[in-house]
Chain A
């Protein structure tokens, strides 16, 4: 099941996030990378160096857009200016699918620039799904929603996080960007079994997978994207691809960014799990 309607029926392998410290290396050394994920908001501008670099990257690589501020879960309507600029970028990149987070971050027009956790209620699921549909209809591109790391839970929640995710994607008929590191982080912060989460998502809707590292504190774990991927997260990844098939996979590394080679090598570790799966199926 390498391709599905939620990733535009594409068959992408292992990619890495396009980050500015690596621009020079990528443009001069032209390393072999299957695809790059770009943060949409960094390129939703009128001109200048970022767009020029994006155009140069697109001459040689495939890119997929990932957003951080659509806030599908915010109670307010989508920001029209945001949508207009996002659509311009979608036309430019021809991204086969577009992802953003299952979270909220703005209210009454004020932005926190954070990925705030959802209350897992039926009202929230209904409103979030409606917004996903509106955005997809406007952008005319498949949408995948990503589960976030969280540090708080709400009294009003009526279901588990994975039940909420399933409720939203079924209602919106959209894809899932399954972040197995976020599942691990939240499982430690809220004391649930991360494997139950991975087992519970509808595998046929998984459009893409994120892997990343995180930081441990005394009483909680923070999703910092500044470390290599740890073994328990690789185990969740192995199970996810066992269920969903060979899925577009991306390593996120956003802080204390090491050399391009180090980031790429870490991402390519996903290959051993993908190859194992191919071998297992052949046997």
Chain B
């Protein structure tokens, strides 16, 4: 057996799902008995059979990737419950094993996978999808690149309407059907507490967590997931503010973005609108959301 064949043979067994009782399956990936499959390439010793030696790696693999996904998606786990979340994670990881050197990217396909496989989220699919989008944005905002922020004096020197701004790579904009931001903050708080609490305390906390999920009612929200001093924050946005930022993010000039996102608002004077945009702009600048070196767009 050459190196590549051995590694393929072992990897197929190691990445094969464990049974419900967390043992290695008795059936190998090729359909033969796993005992026979393992014995073909792994030596037994005086304490462990070939099957048992392979099973150590099979368990380590699944425990590692399941824990990794659970660490990245505690909000989704709270929505679905532990059992359903683990079933979903297992099904997802069978179809989407890691293709990256880092476990940080383990959940990168989770949203599209749930969209194609709605049964795993059951009746809470929309809430689950919103939470996945938020938790993935949280990961990307945490370690996304940060460019030199645009300074107020630089932007003031430009022709505002034709200014084409660039949002910082770490800023993520979300349009969500459920207010999952508050739920995720609660879950994170509970998880931090539970690290130092007793088992009894954890049980009580878990109950509270489920109640919080059950109470969550649909309510459209707009969010910017961003960073201040290297900590990730969820900032609620006005619908128009979100629309304007999204238009800027897609490459429109400031003038185009304002027209696209705000247009003519009934009952809102141009002066009020200008003041509102100016207020938002000042906030965004104070957070450093725009990158320096913004290019001027072609005047229309």
B102 and A44 within 8 A (CB): yes
* Contact segment of B3-11, B108-116, B203-211, B269-277: B3-11
Contact with B along A111-153 (1 / 0, CB 8 A): 1111010010101100100000000000000000000000111
Task: Report 30 cross-chain contacts, Cβ distance below 8 Å, ordered by A residue.
Answer: A46-B145, A47-B145, A47-B170, A48-B146, A48-B170, A52-B230, A75-B3, A75-B7, A81-B101, A107-B4, A107-B11, A110-B99, A113-B98, A114-B57, A114-B64, A116-B7, A116-B14, A119-B3, A121-B3, A123-B2, A151-B53, A152-B43, A152-B50, A152-B53, A152-B54, A153-B42, A155-B1, A189-B45, A190-B45, A219-B52
Q: A46-B169, A110-B11, A113-B98 are in contact. List 18 more A-B contacts (CB 8 A).
A: A41-B102, A44-B102, A47-B144, A48-B170, A48-B227, A51-B143, A74-B7, A114-B61, A116-B10, A119-B6, A127-B3, A152-B56, A153-B43, A154-B41, A154-B42, A155-B1, A155-B41, A155-B43
Chain A residues near B14 (CB-CB < 8 A): 112, 114, 116
Asked whether B247 is an interface residue with its Cβ less than 8 Å from the other chain, the reply is no
Chain B residues near A8 (CB-CB < 8 A): none
Asked whether B231 is an interface residue with its Cβ less than 8 Å from the other chain, the reply is yes
Asked whether A69 is an interface residue with its Cβ less than 8 Å from the other chain, the reply is yes
The interface of chain A, by Cβ under 8 A from chain B, is 41, 44-52, 69-70, 74-76, 79, 81-82, 104, 106-114, 116, 119, 121, 123-124, 127, 151-156, 189-191, 219-220, 222
The interface of chain B, by Cβ under 8 A from chain A, is 1-4, 6-8, 10-11, 14-15, 40-43, 45-48, 50, 52-54, 56-57, 60-61, 64-65, 68, 97-104, 142-146, 169-170, 227, 230-231
Chain A residues near B65 (CB-CB < 8 A): 113
Chain A residues near B61 (CB-CB < 8 A): 112-114
Q: Which B residue sits closest to A85, measured CB to CB?
A: B101
Chain B residues near A50 (CB-CB < 8 A): 143
- Indicate which residue in A79, A112, A127, A222 contacts B11 across the interface (CB closer than 8 Å): A112
Q: A48-B227, A113-B98, A114-B61 are in contact. Are A219 and B48 (CB under 8 A)?
A: yes
A79 and B101 within 8 A (CB): yes
Q: Which A residue sits closest to B54, measured CB to CB?
A: A152
Chain B residues near A119 (CB-CB < 8 A): 1, 3, 6
- Indicate which residue in A41, A75, A104, A151 contacts B101 across the interface (CB closer than 8 Å): A41
